[in-house]
Chain A
């Protein structure tokens, strides 16, 4: 071919412009995809330039422009020797750029999930086989200027490659998209299409401008000569781009209600692609229309792809395949037949254009799909989901950006809460500045956290309850754990302290605290004054344990004011649980107190033989039980009950005196007095017995105390005399003791003769009763019966009075004799007493028998003593004796001789 230097120059310039389109594609694709994949997108664009040129040189050019084999495929010029001539060099250069353009179209559509390695494979396949073969069908022979490809021979017209370059790229991309699928998150399961925003629209727009600029060469250079058509072609190219943009912008604005920048970008490109095929055979108006329609078709195809859930990352398919097909068809629609000059009719041209589109499509789509489907089975074309999420920059190229590093550390920190991490700071970068500030924020947070954990640690472990309180007595959120333990309640923050203690202390203390709290917050009152007024300084709290009882704790509360300038901002309270110490101290106090009062008791008891004392205590308990039984059983009238009780109390008094236990005797005496009072009352009520019950309990307590003491004594005692032997001594001892005691008080001298008293003759069950009776008789004897030593002396008697006791057994039972050698029964005195107390009338007076008088003697209230004292005088002694004996079903026989003796004989049957 003869080409001038100017032609060659133009081809070289045009090639350079097409080369720049690579930069344009790179910018557009980077701008429309996410920054985490930016490296991957960019490097794919650069890579496919090199790979495609290499592949094209090795086989591509030969298959496309080599000597044709039946119009299907070229067969010569492998490893194109373009250095063999100027024309071949220039031509190869131009065509190589076109091949690279077709190849690079794919990278945009499949961006963000196709593996770099897989992409390189697809680039090789396009540049080496797919593009050159279909290119041969349309443009085969262009190098020599003779049409050789079968499509070309049929009249197929594609001036600069709407089909050959652009739609091929589109078809390949579509095939790959079917294999690799959409990006994660692009389509929701319910069908929503989610917008994935590009990283930089400014970058994309620069890319579009570069592409547009490049197209000057793409279309303009396809004349392969500098001739008159070039200027017009370039102009129509520019016009189509413009109308493509405008039409798409208007349409998009109307439909979407806002100007979508993607449509502005892709509308331009669509117009450029559309005009690429027909630009040499249409006029300016047609060019404008073709561009506009191309844009609209692009818009439509874009929506259609979304409808079919095909994810084209940059809308490469709508632009290059959609507009490309339209452009190819518009050759028939608008092309001037005179300029086309291939003899085809309109329909014929249309048919062959369509044939071209379809056959190239089938070839490009088919080969790609088959080839890459197989490769996909061996090694997936798509990256893993994780890699897709973390971004191909990192996943494919091990490259990171500062932003990514910052993000990674921040993400880890947010998940683990580990404030010790710091992000990497890349100096002199914007991200580095952010990273630096971030580190400072984290550092100060960490400091606060560490400090906070120290305080929390203190609060958790301090043994006192610590809390802050405001004016309204509300407890602040951070308090020591011990506070919850002390009050046995959780969740105290926000509660009022006054409310907390309200149910735990008496009403009086609660009110005192309310008053005190008001004073606390008054800054004018001095601390010392306040301290004295603190009602909770040392106080008991009673926590209702919800089981009918209380948990008692002793606490000490102190309140410290926290001032802010001159006002009391808050109060810090310290609550100390001193239950253990207080209980211990009070125990010791009680022991001390008890000791003092018990000492007296103790000394008294010490003098008594333990075995005897136990016997005495048993008897005492027994009597108390009897009294209680009377109260419990409520038998008989109230007055009868009183009399019954009296008997037992009297016995207790007797016993107490026996052992010289004054404290007990006194209690019994008071008891007797009370009973007397009640007996004198007109109308007795049940409530009157309350005092008696109280006295019983007091007696009871005394017995308990004595019990404790004797146990203590016993534990020191090694030898333990037998119970039985004590008994014998007990009865005799009791009589003797009673006699001696009262005798010395009354100034009389007494001796007790117990030779005939054989204890074994008395069955154990009745011994106590016998003793009681004998003791009563002894008392009476010493007080009433036996005379003073002087008196006795004057009668010629021994100054010492004698009491004789004897016990013997016979077939009927036991026979016990008590005898004193005193005055004997004074019947006259008895008679007077009886008359005075109204027991007998004056008339009966003279006729009263001795037997009757003795009977009277045994009645209650019949004492000849002037007044009652601890020892005798209430006139119940004889009555008691009679009761005792009759309880045993025994009989009393009285013998007496005035001035000589008085003898009582008890005959007690034994079963």
Chain B
């Protein structure tokens, strides 16, 4: 996994948060996870195949997703269902952006949304997994990249 490729993924996510909210977002210090991985409330998992195989995911807290939902849709205190849908939308958009940048060289799957279930996630990622904290407002989401 090269630094440049990682940077591309990170840029897609950081830019996305910045664009939809108008507020700044930035990456934290990246680190590695060997066996376990970090999962918050909701996780959007995107499978990757082709020249590189594995998966990436974005995981965020309910609060963060709630706030984003509020910004995008205007509802105060959105319900769980809506938040989950939002998670799916975000994952889709990010997958689409990733596809735009990399689609020529590798296959990007349709993303799925998971709640918890670390086994489902780990099974797709090729270790070691790079975890990059993504900071937005006072929240931290995590972008995880597990590609060969």
Residues of A within 8 A of B (CB): 504-508, 540, 542, 544-550, 552, 628, 631-632, 634, 641, 686-687, 689-691, 693-694, 696-697, 700-701
Contact = CB atoms under 8 A, between A and B. Distances in A.
Contact of B110 (A504, A544, A701): A544
Interface string B23-62: 0001111111010000000000111111001010100000
Contacts of A550: 47-49, 107, 109
Given A507-B104, A628-B32, A693-B32, 9 more contacts: A546-B110, A546-B112, A548-B111, A549-B47, A550-B49, A631-B31, A631-B32, A694-B1, A701-B128
Nearest to B121: A548
Q: Which 9 A-B pairs have the closest CB atoms?
A: A631-B31, A548-B45, A550-B49, A549-B47, A693-B30, A542-B49, A548-B112, A542-B107, A632-B31
Contact of B124 (A542, A546, A549, A641): A549
Interface string B109-125: 11110100000100010
B107 A549 contact: no
Interface string B126-148: 00101100000000000000000
Contact of A694 (B3, B28, B50, B114): B3
9 contacts: A506-B103, A547-B112, A549-B124, A550-B49, A631-B32, A641-B29, A686-B30, A687-B27, A696-B32
B32 A697 contact: yes
Contacts of A506: 50, 103-107
B73 interface: no
A825 B44 CA distance: 60
B28 A634 contact: yes
Contacts of A693: 6, 30-32, 130
A686 B26 contact: yes
A686 B27 contact: yes
Contacts of B30: 631, 686, 689-690, 693
A544 B47 contact: yes
Contacts of B1: 694, 697
B18 interface: no
Nearest to A503: B107
A569 B28 CA distance: 61
> Which among B2, B48, B109 has the highest number of chain A CB atoms within 10 Å?
B109
Nearest to B109: A544
Contacts, number: 97
Contacts of B103: 506-507
B42 to A, nearest CB: 13
A51 to B, nearest CB: 89
Given A549-B55, A550-B47, A700 B32 contact: yes
Contacts of B46: 548
Contacts of B120: 547-548
B7 A700 contact: no
A544 B50 CA distance: 12
Contact of A548 (B29, B107, B109, B131): B109
A151 B46 CA distance: 111
A450 B26 CA distance: 71
> Which among B26, B34, B114 has the highest number of chain A CB atoms within 10 Å?
B34
Given A544-B110, A549-B47, A700 B34 contact: yes
A17 B46 CA distance: 104
A508 B103 CA distance: 9
B29 A694 contact: no
> Which among A507, A546, A693 has the highest number of chain B CB atoms within 10 Å?
A693
A508 to B, nearest CB: 6
Interface string B94-106: 0000000001111
Contacts of A546: 110, 112
Nearest to B113: A548
A880 to B, nearest CB: 22
A501 B112 CA distance: 22
Nearest to B30: A693
Given A508-B104, A548-B46, A700-B32, A690 B6 contact: yes
Given A506-B105, A547-B112, A548-B45, A634 B50 contact: no
Contacts of B124: 548-549
Contact of B128 (A545, A547, A697): A697
Contacts of B3: 690-691, 694
Contacts of B31: 628, 631-632, 693, 696
A94 B115 CA distance: 109
B59 to A, nearest CB: 13
Contacts of B6: 690, 693-694
B91 to A, nearest CB: 9
A697 B129 CA distance: 9
Contacts of B128: 697, 700-701
Contact of B50 (A542, A545, A686, A691): A542
Nearest to A696: B32
A80 B34 CA distance: 126
A686 B28 contact: yes
Contacts of B109: 544-545, 548-550
Interface in B50-96: 50, 53, 55, 57
Contacts of B48: 550
Contacts of B130: 693-694, 697
> Which among A546, A548, A634, A701 has the highest number of chain B CB atoms within 10 Å?
A548
A641 B31 CA distance: 13
Contacts of B107: 504-506, 542, 544, 550
A687 B10 CA distance: 10
A543 to B, nearest CB: 9
A540 B50 CA distance: 8
Contacts of A504: 107
A686 B31 CA distance: 11
A548 B7 CA distance: 22
B122 to A, nearest CB: 12
A445 to B, nearest CB: 48
Contacts of B7: 687, 690
Contacts of A545: 47, 109
A701 B34 CA distance: 10
Nearest to B108: A544
A548 B55 contact: yes
A508 B1 CA distance: 23
A554 to B, nearest CB: 12
B6 to A, nearest CB: 6
A482 to B, nearest CB: 23
B75 to A, nearest CB: 28
Nearest to A624: B32
Contacts of A696: 31-32
